Structure 1
């Protein structure tokens, strides 16, 4: 590791005269290095250290690192507006970074979450202005479509996570404005944000609306999302920049990682993808109920540096182009491209008591006799959100106790006679009707172990307005790459609520985020299966030969120290 100079703080002038504060980390000596840029709204001293190594570590690997407070945050001037000024400010910062003392003219960007998304926007701004285009980007856990990869899921408003982040940002906005009373009020409200008469409209965020974007997210205006969504702003941009895309199986923005990887893979630039076993924060080997093994403990810093060394310095990269972590195997699997999968179709069946008991419903390759299962959703005691990307706490969880609730439909396969490797996004096609105009479906795929634990693997959510057309409701679950061991069972659990991850659907046809507690109606769902109603779970399964090849690759990789 290289010795570093003292940190230098810059005031960087944007196109409209506003100055943004940035810290610069430089190695000692006369040599010139590529510049790595990170722009974040949480204060430049934080610098993504919740998941990444400190900028000083990156600089010591042979880089000049610039960490900037975005407009209106930290010590930067101006007003903070969610992803609104990052197109112009990001592009301007890239151009200034290209001329930074100690730099060699090459500029890359890196960062996580918000400071992953604003890298996409800086690229859009650079293409629009004709300025410096990044020579490479390392983007971790970022939404590509801000609405559908962050704020909403299956048209369901992500209640708890949206409120928590809105409150966090509003506290700092109020503090910077000198309104300490509002900042203290917002902070004190954090534990009870969704407990009011209208769970999605807490009084404190209404009172402090001048400090938060939250009302804009509730309004759900398509033009608002288009103006700040990377997918929209890059729609006509040539995507030929090398990118390392980093995701986590339980990250709230996982779909964004895959969508960006797919979009950029259509261009000519080098694309790499790594998906670990983690949620949004933190990244380590303990992932809820599971120990992911030593392979998950090292984070992603070494891979980021190897990628930048490859893209900016022409060095060989020891990592596979695509790395997917299998939490059951406790190992990374390496591929040249995303693995392809065959579809295993499992049919739902029951004796009519899939809600009343967790042992009646079945999953099998052959359809069963016609049956109907009744799920009564009582909004007074909504089914809870458990683990994975939106539960509290997140990550892999044993949901067996939840499956024993009488308002959860449960369908379980026989024990597997051989290991099954799932890779891709499962999908549930359900012939379900309700006695109300609207309802929610929340589907979770689990592994049922021999001791009765039901370890959640992935889930999907959908807010539905009944159309009476008789077509199945399709719920796409989030992507996975996981081995289900021989002797374990597959389980599909279906709920009509997932609170507080999502607001409770009132059943009236109104948006759940607009409904008061007193608007909510008891709703009865009927799920039909068997003859004439082929309710199914479609699983992406990797062939045994391909699985063996990937595992041999994995063994070599995990024994290699890059």
Structure 2
């Protein structure tokens, strides 16, 4: 099988930046662009370390640099080791603590530096901030990690825990990222042939065509190796630094990012300097208000749209650094939590979830759904008085489609998922129409009692907003990989956090399935490795409802009259 691919290399350095080759302790030179304000020093510096070509239109950092230099900051953007213009082996994570420390140290020795450094950026360049925190350079005074987490590999696969038999399915889309971006200093675009089995051969064919392979992909697939970043120390055990966590409600790694924030907000020493900014955005910074996004509103395609997006993108970081790098504002001027309620604007709070938030529960039943809209069963305010069972199937030859072509940019398409409810391998549960607005503000979770004809099965949950016209759009999602133990078992599925207004006349709904492809690796339906199995086995799952085996959706709500 022949696989076609395109390779992208480094773009040109902008005229208003000066590139330096910064020497690391082992002699490797890492390319860094320096953008300076008109008053060139000495000033605080903001550092961005990333693997996506510092000079590409994709990361638009030359434009971000302008916002920072206009505010009086030096802005330093560096290709990480082994990527684009930087020396060294192309291998993520492992050298980032030392490289971050050495780069910060280089900055402090420049004539334009006042000796203080902050860090900023999304995703992997959020992780490089945590790596630098772990290295504990004294000049690092504040970080702004956006749509990221301190442990990326835990987002890819969470093996079934021995005491519960519940873990997470393999996030195929996440592991596939390493096959595109971590082969050599460039990036490779190719489309796997999704019909090929075993699934691992889809990527082996690409590596053969390219003539090289990704070492990190090989660590993660097909062996489920539990590879943690080698930071020397966990960043949360390092010296506390002020952190502004910028979280997207539609970010596909929003759940672990919120877990990071909540853990640090509960840790003595860290708690006083944790701040949260949360918005109705996804990993690629598309906003709910623009979804689905037209070409004219797409900041990845249109320069005018990008200029409109940039103030919300960089503004919270600039205000944060004005406090913790420049000291021109007081920390008391920053809200501890600034969060967006989808469809209803931005709010501030002293904590997350907001102190006035409470839990509300809906119960999955076997009773028919309210008439019209989605087929299926009812999502009820009260538990059914009798126990019941409902089956759904898993057919590895007819997988439930993910519908969204790229979950990193979910809001770019923000698809109507109501057609999934008509499938025989999907269970749908719909609540009655709301008589008034309902504001979701906090975590959402689903607790199910399930059993299966297979020894191993997956459960995928989508929590939806169903509009009066029947269109259904995602609010949050969650998933679990379950080892069957011969009877109904409780499966807890965290679905992350959100701020979202369900408007009057809309309905809350929930979908259950056992596949979500190609976002997640299909289950083998057996003890076979799903990467290498040639023939995954079909299965039948059973949902148990009622007093003996309650299955429920729990959301966090706040009064709609709250300010």
Shorter chain as denominator, the TM-score bin is 0.7 to 0.9
> Which of 318, 329, 333 lines up with 2:347 in the alignment?
333
The match for 1:178 is: none
Is the CA contact 2:341–2:441 (under 8 Å) kept in the aligned structure 1?
no
Deviations 1:348-368 (A, max 9, x none): 1124899xx943401112211
The match for 2:402 is: 385
Decide which moves more: 147-156 or 400-409: 147-156
Distance 1:91 1:455, change over 3 A: same
Q: CA–CA distance in 2 between the matches of 1:84 and 1:505?
A: 30
1:15-34 equivalences under 5 Å are: 15-29=25-39, 31-34=41-44
Q: CA deviation at 1:79?
A: 1.0
Q: CA deviation at 1:210?
A: 4.1
> Which of 360, 364, 370 lines up with 1:348 in the alignment?
364
Q: CA–CA distance in 2 between the matches of 1:335 and 1:48?
A: 33
Is the CA contact 1:279–1:388 (under 8 Å) kept in the aligned structure 2?
no
The match for 1:221 is: 225
Is the CA contact 1:426–1:539 (under 8 Å) kept in the aligned structure 2?
yes
Distance 1:201 1:55, change over 3 A: farther
Check if 1:103 corresponds to 2:113.
yes
> Which of 103, 124, 132 lines up with 1:93 in the alignment?
103
The match for 1:514 is: 532
Q: CA deviation at 1:162?
A: 2.3
The match for 2:138 is: 132
Q: CA deviation at 1:199?
A: 1.9
Q: CA deviation at 1:512?
A: 2.8
Is the CA contact 2:523–2:530 (under 8 Å) kept in the aligned structure 1?
yes
> Which of 278, 281, 288 lines up with 1:278 in the alignment?
281
State the SS of the aligned residue for 1:157: coil
List, as ranges, runs of 4+ consecutive aligned residues in structure 1 with deviation greater than 6 Å.
Answer: 294-297
The match for 1:320 is: 335
Check if 1:525 corresponds to 2:541.
yes
Q: CA deviation at 1:337?
A: 1.6
Is the CA contact 2:377–2:429 (under 8 Å) kept in the aligned structure 1?
yes
Q: CA–CA distance in 2 between the matches of 1:524 and 1:285?
A: 36
Is the CA contact 1:385–1:391 (under 8 Å) kept in the aligned structure 2?
no
Is the CA contact 1:309–1:315 (under 8 Å) kept in the aligned structure 2?
yes
Distance 1:53 1:263, change over 3 A: farther
Distance 1:347 1:430, change over 3 A: same
Q: CA–CA distance in 1 between the matches of 2:415 and 2:66?
A: 36
Distance 1:389 1:411, change over 3 A: farther
Check if 1:244 corresponds to 2:254.
no
The match for 1:179 is: none
Is the CA contact 2:104–2:117 (under 8 Å) kept in the aligned structure 1?
yes
Is the CA contact 1:441–1:464 (under 8 Å) kept in the aligned structure 2?
yes
Q: CA–CA distance in 2 between the matches of 1:385 and 1:311?
A: 42
Distance 1:410 1:5, change over 3 A: closer
The match for 2:168 is: 155
1:372-521 equivalences under 5 Å are: 372-387=389-404, 390=407, 394=411, 396-516=414-534, 519-521=535-537
Q: CA–CA distance in 2 between the matches of 1:263 and 1:531?
A: 34
Is the CA contact 2:250–2:410 (under 8 Å) kept in the aligned structure 1?
no
Q: CA deviation at 1:434?
A: 0.9
Q: CA deviation at 1:206?
A: 5.3
Q: CA deviation at 1:53?
A: 3.9
The match for 1:365 is: 381
Q: CA–CA distance in 1 between the matches of 2:395 and 2:74?
A: 57
Is the CA contact 2:64–2:314 (under 8 Å) kept in the aligned structure 1?
no
Q: CA deviation at 1:256?
A: 3.0
- Number of aligned residues: 517
Q: CA–CA distance in 1 between the matches of 2:58 and 2:129?
A: 14
Q: CA deviation at 1:234?
A: 2.1
State the SS of the aligned residue for 2:496: coil
Q: CA deviation at 1:523?
A: 0.9
The TM-score, its normalising length taken from structure 1, stands at: 0.84
Check if 1:80 corresponds to 2:93.
no
State the SS of the aligned residue for 1:549: coil
Deviations 1:495-518 (A, max 9, x none): 1110111111121133433333xx
Q: CA deviation at 1:212?
A: 3.8
Q: CA–CA distance in 1 between the matches of 2:61 and 2:520?
A: 26
The match for 2:124 is: 114
The match for 1:257 is: 257
Q: CA deviation at 1:150?
A: 4.9
Question: Over the residues paired in the alignment, what is the CA RMSD in angstroms?
Answer: 3.0
Distance 1:334 1:472, change over 3 A: same
Q: CA–CA distance in 1 between the matches of 2:139 and 2:259?
A: 21
Q: CA–CA distance in 1 between the matches of 2:15 and 2:391?
A: 68
Deviations 1:35-65 (A, max 9, x none): 1111111222138735894323312220111
Q: CA–CA distance in 2 between the matches of 1:216 and 1:26?
A: 40
State the SS of the aligned residue for 1:305: helix
Q: CA deviation at 1:85?
A: 0.5
Distance 1:393 1:539, change over 3 A: closer
> Which of 11, 22, 35 lines up with 1:12 in the alignment?
22
Q: CA deviation at 1:426?
A: 1.5
The match for 2:72 is: 62
Segments of structure 2 that go 5 or more residues without pairing to the other structure are 1-13, 160-166, 298-304
State the SS of the aligned residue for 1:359: coil
Q: CA–CA distance in 2 between the matches of 1:52 and 1:436?
A: 53
Distance 1:62 1:235, change over 3 A: closer
Distance 1:285 1:526, change over 3 A: closer
Distance 1:235 1:135, change over 3 A: closer
Is the CA contact 1:427–1:476 (under 8 Å) kept in the aligned structure 2?
yes
Q: CA deviation at 1:297?
A: 8.0
Distance 1:315 1:437, change over 3 A: same
Is the CA contact 2:252–2:408 (under 8 Å) kept in the aligned structure 1?
no
Q: CA–CA distance in 2 between the matches of 1:51 and 1:25?
A: 10
Q: CA–CA distance in 1 between the matches of 2:171 and 2:124?
A: 17
Is the CA contact 2:343–2:501 (under 8 Å) kept in the aligned structure 1?
yes
Q: CA–CA distance in 1 between the matches of 2:349 and 2:410?
A: 31
